[in-house]
Structure formats: structure tokens, C-alpha cells
Amino acid sequence: MSGRLAGRVALITGANRGIGLAIAQEYAREGATCILAARNLAALKKVAADLTATGAKVVVVELDQESDDSIRAATQEIARQFPKLDIFVANAASLGARKPIISYPMDTWRQTFQVNVHANLLLLQGLDALLKKSDAGRVIILSAQVATVAKAGTGSYAVSKAALESLARVYMIEAKDTPIRVNTVSPMATRTKMRADAAPSEDPMTLKTPESIAPLFVALALPSCELQGEWINADKWLASKKLM
Ligand SMILES: NC(=O)c1ccc[n+]([C@@H]2O[C@H](COP(=O)([O-])OP(=O)(O)OC[C@H]3O[C@@H](n4cnc5c(N)ncnc54)[C@H](OP(=O)(O)O)[C@@H]3O)[C@@H](O)[C@H]2O)c1
């Protein structure tokens, strides 16, 4: 397929719905080979079938970010099938509970950190060698505004996203002598299941769609995009369609 991402191999976690699905669809349209990962294999296979029908190259990998074994199996499977990885979109996340910190359930706290932080560390550890085989590895981390702007009731979601941002910065510094570029996107309020779970009284139709911000993720994935260590507010990008 032709397109600005032709010849590029991209892993998108959480690719069966929401923002991850929109990114996968946009990457496929731009000619990337897409590796779609999440827990719900049936939903992933449906997405893969739809994309394959448009001529896209798509591979499905089962990934449960709550399980270290599943993460290792997924990265090994990707390494078995692909000699390099050009793009890693760390999109999948867990919302946790909407409870005050002081009474936050510790099992939920640990689960959120496992999915949002530890899993992304293990994914980077498993994918780093493949990313370094790319002439322009691009790592795009999905974070959230609550990582830096405190909001009551956001508990382990907010704190784990802050940790994830820190993880991304450390990885970026340690990969500074390579062609890898690491950037973070805060999607801001977007019409997805996670947003509906987080703000059930909100009318979803007042929110922007995941598809509207998918082109931002193409811009960040291009080999010509040399941005490094940026934190991009998707609403600001949408208003200007400029990265900086
Ligand atoms: N929507 C917003 O307003 C908003 C705002 C700020 C930040 N974000 C961020 O944007 C990203 C995408 O969010 P979204 O709104 O598109 O969420 P979503 O619609 O709930 O999708 C989340 C995705 O993550 C996957 N996932 C969840 N737990 C997983 C696990 N344990 N292992 C593997 N995959 C798992 C889900 O698939 P399975 O359940 O099949 O595994 C699903 O594909 C997240 O990082 C989120 O924090 C979203």
C-alpha cells in the first residue's frame, strides 16, 4: 500500500476500540503494517478483518497487560514475525476506581500501575532491540492531563500516568544516541468507553471523536518528525493542526 507510513511496522496497544482503534485505522490508511494488541481477541480479529479488506497488512497479537507472561509472549511473537519495529504506540490503559486517595483500594491501585506503568516498561524492554533496528523508531505514549493537573477522584490513574510520563522521559534520555524519538500525547476529553466510564453524566456527543485526533499520531510517527520529549495536548493540536 502507498501512503506516508508505507514500509513502516507499527504496534498499537488497545487497538480494538477507542483511540487505539482510530490510530490503527489511520496508520493502515497510510500504508503501515499494523500489529494490533489487546485482550479481546475476537474484537481485534474483527478490526483486523475490516482493515485487511481495505488492503492493509495487519497482524493480531493477544496482550494482557495485567500479566507479565502475556507481555513477554507478545513481544517474543512480534520479534519472531518482524525484523524491526518502527512505531510503538503505548495506548492501552486502565482507569482504576474513582475514589479518594485516602480510601483507595490497594488491589485496584496495583492493577492500574501494572497495566499503565509496569506493562509499558516490560513492553519497552521487549521491543527496544526491534525499535533500534528501525532507521527512525518512534515511541508515542498516551498520557492524560490529570498526570500533571490534580483532579480529585482520579487516584491511581493520575499517579500511574505521571509515572508513565517519567518512564518515557528516562527511556528517551537513555536512547538519545539512537534514532528513536519519544513523545507523549494527552488526548484530552475524547468520545470513548474510558471517557464514558470516567464521566458518566457527560453527553458523549459533546466530545470530539477519536478519529479527529488520529492524524496527530501519524504526524508523530513519520521518520521526518524529529520531535523529542514533547508533551502534546491533542485539543491544541486539533485547533492548529501544527505540532509546535
Ligand atoms: N478518552 C479520553 O477522554 C482520554 C483522555 C485522556 C487520556 N486518554 C488515554 O488514551 C488512551 C486510550 O484510551 P481510550 O479512551 O481509547 O480507552 P478505551 O476505549 O477504554 O480503550 C482502552 C483500550 O485498552 C485496552 N486494554 C485495557 N486494559 C488492558 C489490558 N489489561 N491489557 C491490554 N489491553 C488493555 C482495551 O482493550 P481490551 O479491554 O480488549 O484489552 C482497549 O482497547 C489511554 O491511555 C487513556 O488513558 C483517554
Single out the residue of 116, 115, 133 nearest to residue 78, CA to CA. 133
- Ligand 1 is surrounded, with C-beta below 6 A, by 13-14, 16-20, 38-40, 43, 63-66, 91-94, 115, 142, 144, 187, 189-190, 192-195
197 Cα: distance to centroid of ligand 1 (angstroms): 11
Radius of gyration of the chain (CA): 17
Which CATH architecture group holds 9-240? 3-Layer(aba) Sandwich (3.40)
Q: Which of 178, 218, 213 is nearest to 18 (CA)?
A: 213
Q: How many CA atoms lie within 13 A of 120 on its CB side?
A: 31
**Residues belonging to the active site:** 157
List C-alpha distances in Å: 117 to 107, 151, 203, 205, 222: 15, 20, 30, 31, 25
Q: What is the pLDDT of residues 112-131, one digit of tens each?
A: 999 999 999 999 999 999 99
CA distance 99 to 82: 42
Domain ranges of the chain: 9-240
Report whether pLDDT(35) > 80: yes
Question: Is 217 within 8 Å of 18 (Cβ atoms)?
Answer: no
Distance CA 199, CA 98 (A): 10
Could you tell me which residues come within 8 angstroms of residue 182 by beta carbon, excluding any fewer than 6 positions away?
139, 141, 168, 169, 171, 172, 175, 228, 229
Query: Each residue of 135-149: pLDDT tens digit?
Result: 999 999 999 999 999
Tens digits of residue pLDDT in 188-231:
999 999 999 999 999 999 999 999 999 999 999 999 999 999 99
Q: For residue 19, report the distance from its CA to the centre of ligand 1, in Å.
A: 7
Atom of ligand 1 nearest to the CA of 190: 3
pLDDT, tens digit (0-9, with 9 covering 90-100), for 221-240: 999 999 999 999 999 999 99
| Cell 481485534, residue located | 44
Please tell me whether residue 145 adopts helix, strand or coil conformation: helix
The pTM of the whole model exceeds 0.95: yes
Alpha carbon of 226 to ligand 1 centroid (Å): 27
